[in-house]
Amino acid sequence: MAESKAKRKQRALEIVKLLAKAYPDAECALHQHSAFELLVATILSAQATDEKVNEVTDDLFKTHNRPEHFATEDPAKLEQVLRPTGFFRNKTKSVIGASKMLLEDFGGEVPRTMEELIRLPGVSRKTASVVLGVSFGIAEGVVVDTHVARIAVRLGLSPVQTTKTVSAEKIEKDLMELLPREEWINFSHRIIWHGRRVCTARKPLHDQCVLEALCPKIGTPEQRRL
């Protein structure tokens, strides 16, 4: 028998409390000093690890930290800098395109609404949510990366069988319905930290998990493979 939404919501609130206690200092892992730098770093993070992105941007942002720095950059030169992050040609187009649009349509400043942000090349709802939440403290959605998606399913917060058959948007919608809006930003940071340290993809450390008592996926071998 499927768990009712009311029960999932109550369990979600308990999970929020436990995560807050376990990871009180959880924050975005991408290195950045401004909304624009975070925008660029988040665009580069698609299909790349935060560590790899940080390796690239730690040097890049020393000379390129405003839209005008990228808008006039030679694409071929920037491609070589972004190559380690993968999909570097598309990312180069996105970063340059987003920088030009910021200068032309937003006075060189990163906008503070979801609707405006997703107009920028290379900016998805996830990217916009990261920027809004981290840089401006605006909760417009729940950031769903691979860690959040996997663990949301494991915890039964999104009533789907596997992340392979459902979109991140569906999981985000489920989480937004369960979690208090004031927890949307921190919840993602804390789940990501938990996913990297304990609830890993290949071998979750069940004996170290603060959420073990609330996890319905600790059972059959099939459930453990989620």
Q: Is-contact 99 67, C-beta < 8 A?
A: yes
| Catalytic annotation present for 62 | no
Catalytic residue among 145, 164, 170, 203: 145
Q: Is-contact 162 226, C-beta < 8 A?
A: yes
For every residue of 100-131, DSSP letters joined together read: HHHHHHSTTS--SSHHHHTTSTT--HHHHHHH
CA distances from 105 to 42, 48, 96, 101, 109 (A): 21, 29, 14, 6, 9
Q: Is-contact 134 37, C-beta < 8 A?
A: no
Catalytic residue among 50, 126, 174, 217: 126
Rounded distance, CA 193 to CA 216, Å?
20
Q: Is-contact 187 142, C-beta < 8 A?
A: yes
| Catalytic annotation present for 145 | yes
User: Which among 134, 141, 106, 136 has a CA at the least distance from the CA of 120?
Assistant: 106
User: Which among 41, 91, 93, 87 has a CA at the least distance from the CA of 64?
Assistant: 41
Residues belonging to the active site: 126, 145
